[in-house]
């Protein structure tokens, strides 16, 4: 059984900060990348940030300079530190793992981030 559990979503005022966590468990058998996606009401799911097995990162243009993705391999956990939140960041945030053997995509259940103004 493979499990991804997100935490850290909350209601926050505009300009505030949050840190999301995604803890993984189970027999994944290697990871190519870990990342965060989000889906706002009425919109499609979009990539927010990814970190590869080599440590390279990539961010959506809308969050560059405000969000930082990181990982703790010993804890099998990926984080998303978010600063200067605004109403456009309101969404359900999903943790994603791209596993190696076999190659497949794994998803968490999501955590709600709501930014009020």
| Per-residue confidence band for 117, with pLDDT thresholds at 50, 70 and 90 | confident
Mean pLDDT calculated for residue range 6-14: 97
- Residue 16 CA to residue 104 CA, distance in Å, equals 35
pLDDT of 65 reads: 97
Interval 97-115: pLDDT, tens: 999 989 999 999 999 999 9
Strands (E), the chain: 3-7, 11-13, 18-25, 31-39, 46-52, 57-59, 67-72, 77-82, 91-99, 104-107, 111-116
pLDDT > 70 fraction of the chain, expressed in percent and rounded: 100
pLDDT in tens, 31-58: 899 999 999 999 999 999 999 989 999 9
* Tens digit of each residue's pLDDT (9 = 90 or more) over 70-101: 999 888 899 999 999 999 999 999 999 999 98
27 pLDDT tier (thresholds 50, 70, 90): confident
SS3 assignment, position 39: strand
């Amino acid at each position: 059984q493979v499990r991804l559990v997100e935490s850290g979503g909350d209601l926050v005022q505009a300009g505030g900060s949050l840190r999301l966590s995604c803890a993984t468990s189970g027999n994944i058998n290697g990871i190519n990348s870990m990342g965060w996606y989000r889906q706002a009401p009425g919109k499609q799911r979009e990539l927010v940030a990814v970190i590869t097995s080599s440590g390279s990162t990539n961010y959506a243009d809308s969050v560059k300079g405000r969000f930082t993705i990181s990982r703790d391999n010993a804890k099998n956990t990926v984080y998303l530190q978010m600063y200067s939140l605004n109403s456009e960041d309101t969404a359900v945030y999903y943790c994603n793992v791209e596993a190696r053997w076999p190659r497949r995509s794994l998803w968490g259940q999501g955590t709600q981030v709501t930014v009020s103004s």
